[in-house]
Amino acid sequence: MAESHPDLLWSSPEPRGSYDVVIVGGGGHGLFTAYYLAANHGITNVAVLERGWLGGGNAVRNTTVIRSNYLWDESAAIYEHSLKLWEGLAAELDYDILFDQRGVLNLAHNLGDAREGVRRVNANRLNGVDAEWLDADGVRAFCPVVNTDPGIRYPVLGATLQRRGGIARHDALVFAVARAAAGLGVHLIQGCEVTGIEVTDGAVRAVQTNRGRIAAGRVGLCAAGHSSVVAGLAGVELPIQSHPLQALVSELLEPVLGCVVMSNAVHVYVSQAHKGELVMGAGIDTYNSYAQRGSFHVIEHQMAAALELFPIFARAHVLRTWAGIVDVCPDASPIVGGTPVDDLFVNCGWGTGGFKATPGSGWVFAWTLAHGEPHELNRSFSLERFETGALIDEHGAAAVAH
């Protein structure tokens, strides 16, 4: 499959002693932030510091569900902004990222789910986000392999459908945005662990790394599951908890599932990737962890639930299971903005649903780093909201907000 990738991706420069902006974390959020700093704001003296390898965390461990049908206005705006970016990304980055708008179904299994689904569809439409409500017959017509037998334990009463939602190829996205950023002069520095953050007179001055001190005009933290640890280096506390989130993949199969199907009530979200494998996510493990692994019973329950909805999958095999570390916020919404330390900004808390947001997240975070204050789209996603109480609580909308 190497043929589908270009001949040159990026080079690996030695770090300079100083950058205008240093981004900590070379995942999707960090890479897009760097790319848009260069592409939209002309700030190219930028380094992305990655402890391991680019995109080695959640960027390539997620199930690539892309949608924007969030309930609250603030969420719908930022995720819809992201989805619009996705729609132009292959052309903008000149890379086949296999973005495929095959539609995302969110199933409703009880009257509460259905009420919530209708509420979300109505809100989405008024926010300019495409959304439809399907009854059980509509679900069957759109996705015939979903078991719509009314006699199953959690029968399908209906679903929300976002036709513009879909999937993409995650590692291609990492390659694409990293290449684009590097092409604009951004330094991608791998194997570079931030071990300290220098704060003087209430402002950030530099980061200490295993490859030496790097001075920075502004620092943006995009460390996902490690956000608490990295922010802690600057004495900044975050209302974040890190948990394992497991996923699994089957062997390559002839086409069987043509859209993305999600069910919060029974913790299933699944799609069939372009190559042909079923990609499925499980529920979050309850305990805090940085181990990138979860417990077997979560997978076991996941399989039983999946077969309730998709009996056709019974004979498929699980080839691999794995886990990412998700940074979960109390209101299941991200934190994108300033910190009590001047010139230190944070982009975290995307929890279980960050992949879809990466272009939008990078776009607003780049704006924020360039201007030193939040863009209109991320103004509400501030740390201050935990003090004022102005939370953006997407729990009610989706217990597992993938």
Partner 1 sequence: MLLIPCPYCGERDEVEFRYGGAAHVSYPEDASAADDREWSRYVFYRPNPSGRFCERWVHQHGCRRWFNLVRDTTTHEIAGSYAIGQETSA
Partner 2 sequence: MRRLADGGRLDRSTTLAVTWDGREIEAHPGDTLASALLAAGITEVARSTVHGRPRGIVSAGAEEPCAYVQVDAPRSEPLVAATLVEAVDGLVAAPLAGFGRLAGDDLERHDRRHHHCDVLVVGGGTAGAAEARRAAAAGLRVVWAERDTGPLPDLGDDALCLSRTTAVGSYDDNLVMLVERVSSTRRRMWQVRAGEVVLATGAHERPLVFAGNDLPGVMLAGAARTYLERFALVPERAVVFTTNDAGTETAEALRAAGAAVTLVDARAGHAVVAAEGEGRLRSVLVAPIATPADAERVECELLAVSGGFEPVLDLHRHRRGGVRWDAPRACFVPHGTVRNQRIVGTAMGDGLPTVAALWLVPGGEERHAYVDLQRDVTVTDLRRAVGAGLESIEHVKRYTLVGTGVDQGRTAKTNAAAIAAGLLGREIAEIGTSTTRPPVEPVSFAVLAGRARGPRFEPVRTTPIHAWHVNHGAVFEDVGQWKRPWYYPQPGEDMDAAVLRECAAARTGVAMMDASTLGKIDIQGPDSAEFLNRLYTNSYDTLRVGRCRYGLLCRADGMVFDDGVVTRVAEDRFFATTTTGGAAAVLDWMEEWLQTEWPELRVHLTSVTEQWQTVAVVGPRSRDLLSSAFGAIDFSNEAFPFMTFRDTTFHKRFPARVSRVSFSGELAYEVSVPSDAGRLLWLGLWKAGEPLGVTAYGTETMHVLRAEKGFVIVGQDTDGTVTPIDLGMDWIVSKTKPFVGRRSLTRPDTARPDRKQLVGLLPDDPSVRLDEGAQLVLDPEQAPPVTMIGHVTSSYRSAALGRTFALALVRSGRERLGEPVYSPGADGITAARVVEPVFYDAEGLRRDG
Window 251-310: residues binding partner 1 (CB under 8 A):
286-291, 293, 295-297
212 touches, from partner 2, partner 1, none (C-beta below 5 to 8 Å by class) = none
- Please select the residue that binds partner 1; options are 58, 124, 162, 242, rule is CB under 8 A: 242
Task: Give the 3-state secondary structure of residue 84.
Answer: helix
Q: Tell whether residue 53 is a contact of partner 1 (CB under 8 A).
A: no
Q: Which of 89, 97, 123, 262 binds partner 2 (CB under 8 A)?
A: 123
Give CA–CA dist 325/243, Å, rounded: 5
The interface partner of residue 127, options being partner 2, partner 1, none and the CB cut-off 5 to 8 Å by kind, is: partner 2
* CB burial of residue 208 (10 Å; 0-12, 13-18, 19+): middle
Task: Give the residue with the Cβ less far from partner 2, 35 or 313.
Answer: 313
| Binds partner 1 by CB under 8 A, chosen from 20, 205, 330, 379 | 330
Q: What is the spatial distance between Cα 400 and Cα 123, in angstroms, rounded to a whole number?
A: 19
* Interface mask toward partner 2 for 252-271; x: CB under 8 A: xxx-x---------------
| DSSP state string for 283-307 | EEPSS---SS---HHHHHHHHHHHH
Of 6 and 212, nearer to partner 2 (C-beta) is 6
How far is 299 from 28, CA to CA, in rounded Å? 26
Q: Strand pairing of 194-200 and 104-108?
A: unpaired
- Pick one of partner 1, partner 2, none as the site partner of residue 287 (Cβ within 5 to 8 A by kind): partner 1
Residue 73 contact partner, candidates partner 1, partner 2, none, CB within 5 to 8 A by sort of partner: partner 2
Which residues from 333-372 bind partner 2, rule CB under 8 A?
A: none
How many C-alpha atoms does 270 have within 13 Å on its Cβ side? 28
Cα–Cα distance list, 103 to 253, 257, 323, 355, 396 (Å): 20, 11, 25, 16, 22
Instruction: Retrieve residue 303's tokens.
Output: 């399989």
- CB of residue 243 vs partner 1: minimum separation in angstroms? 9
20 sits in which H/E element: strand 18-24
* Subset of residues 361 to 390 that bind partner 1, contact rule: CB under 8 A: 386-388
Binding of residue 305 to partner 2 (CB under 8 A): yes
# chain residues binding partner 2, by CB under 8 A: 83
137 binds partner 2 (CB under 8 A): no
Binding partner 2 (rule: CB under 8 A), the pick from 17, 42, 200, 387 is 387
CA–CA distance, 341 with 187 (Å, rounded to integer): 24
Tell the smallest beta-carbon distance from residue 323 to partner 1 (Å).
Answer: 12
Cβ neighbours of residue 178 closer than 8 Å, sequence gap 6 or more = 9, 10, 26, 31, 54, 55, 188
- Measured in whole angstroms, the distance separating CA 314 from the mean position of its chain's CA atoms is 29
Given candidates 288, 304, 340, 373, which one binds partner 2 under the rule CB under 8 A? 304
CB 337 within 8 A of CB 361: no
Residue 184 engages partner 2 in binding (rule: CB under 8 A): no
* Nearest-angstrom CA–CA distance, 402 and 398: 8
Binding-site partner at residue 319 among partner 1, partner 2, none, CB < 5 to 8 Å by type: partner 2
Piece of the chain touching partner 2 by CB under 8 A; list 114-122, 136-144, 195-203, 217-225: 114-122
Task: Return the number of the residue (138 or 217) whose C-beta is nearest partner 2.
Answer: 138
Cβ 8 to partner 2, closest distance in Å? 5
Find, among 20, 22, 21, 24, the residue nearest to 227 by Cα.
24
Which one of residues 122, 210, 286, 288 is an interface residue with partner 2 (CB under 8 A)? 122
Tokens of 77: 């705006």
Binding positions for partner 1, rule: CB under 8 A:
226, 228-229, 237-242, 286-291, 293, 295-297, 330, 386-388
